[in-house]
Amino acid sequence: MLCCRLTTEASTKDKLMKNFVVIKEYDPCPRNKDGSIRWFLYRWDDGKSGVRRLVRCRHCGSFFLIQAYHLNKFSKYAAYQFEDWYPIENEKEADRVNDTYTGLQWELQHKPAVQCADDKILD
Ligand SMILES: [Zn+2]
């Protein structure tokens, strides 16, 4: 099931985003029951720049789990804010993924449908 809006030409991420509603943003450093930090979404930051959010297409209702992050400061791409868009079945599945995988674990096992660098949509 591919979203109706990802097949159309969107020139920028801002324009693409106009077709989506943000359902929720997840805590990038979830806690254990004892209050300790379970993990950072991305291990090279301290939960400040990486975030996951769930969005839904305003037109066809498709869900995407977005992982937004900066690469670590030694990368030559460190200045960019990246976003990887992963198709996801529904909110319940997104919650399960969020509770189960760090950003990198998820990224290594799945291919994003769309990737953005700042406002640019990458091919
Ligand atoms: Zn759509």
From ligand 1's centre to the CA of 114, what distance in Å? Answer: 13
The boundaries of the domain holding residue 86 are: 13-122
Number of domains, the chain: 1
Please give the Cα distance from 5 to 19 (Å, whole number): 7
From ligand 1's centre to the CA of 88, what distance in Å? Answer: 12
Residue 89 domain-assigned?
yes
Summarize the confidence of residues 44-58 as an average pLDDT: 88
Residue 62 domain-assigned?
yes
From ligand 1's centre to the CA of 95, what distance in Å? Answer: 20
From ligand 1's centre to the CA of 2, what distance in Å? Answer: 7
Tell me if residue 117 falls in helix, strand or coil.
Answer: strand
Which residues place a Cβ less than 5 A from the ion ligand 1? 3-5, 57, 59-60, 62
Residue 1 domain-assigned?
no
The token duo for 31 is: 């806690």
Please give the Cα distance from 101 to 87 (Å, whole number): 15
Summarize the confidence of residues 26-38 as an average pLDDT: 93
Contacts 24+ apart (CB under 8 A), 88-92: 88/54, 88/63, 88/64, 89/63, 90/63, 91/23, 91/24, 91/54, 91/63
Residue 6 domain-assigned?
no
The residue ranking higher by pLDDT, 47 or 68, is 68
Which residue is it, tokens 């939960």?
A: 47
Which residue is it, tokens 């789990």?
A: 65
Residue 4 domain-assigned?
no
Residue 114 domain-assigned?
yes
The predicted pLDDT at position 73 comes to: 85
Residue in 9, 5, 8 with CA at minimum distance from that of residue 56: 5
Residue 112 domain-assigned?
yes
Residue 3 domain-assigned?
no
**The whole model's pTM is what?**
0.92
Chain segment 4-13, per-residue pLDDT in tens: 888 667 789 9
